[in-house]
Amino acid sequence: MASMNISLPDPMRDYVQDRIDSGQYASASDYVRDLIRRDRGGIENEERWLRDLDGSIAQSLAEMAAGGGVDLDAACDAVLIELATTDGQHRS
């Protein structure tokens, strides 16, 4: 296993030491390894989310190109008309 030296400001070093003293980690190396695993997992989750989003956008664009979907302006106009009609009925 390779070693790496890092420098931390005193408050950060104290925080790591507190985590070790509380029994959450066996050593500073254990703490850093856990942080790296969590960071890698977060990056993988973000990449997966972006791929899923890209797929969803592509699917939506394909549906729109095939004549599916709803025109946003028309949908908003319909909602505004409904709100105006409903609002007028409640004030009577």
Residue 73 forms part of a structural domain: yes
Residue pair 18/31 in contact by the 8 Å Cβ criterion: no
- Residue 89, pLDDT score: 63
Domain range for 51 is 10-90
In a domain, 5, yes or no: no
The model's confidence at residue 1, banded by pLDDT at 50, 70 and 90, is: confident
- pTM score over 0.75: no
pLDDT of residue 92: 47
The rounded distance, in Å, linking the Cα atoms of 64 and 59 is: 9
Residue 91 DSSP symbol: T
pLDDT in tens, 16-73: 999 999 999 999 999 999 999 999 999 999 999 999 999 999 999 999 899 888 888 9
Query: Cβ distance 31 to 38 under 8 Å?
Result: no
In a 13 Å sphere around the CA of 76, the CA atoms on its Cβ side amount to 3
Per the structure block, which two tokens stand in for 46? 């973000």
* Number of domains the chain contains: 1
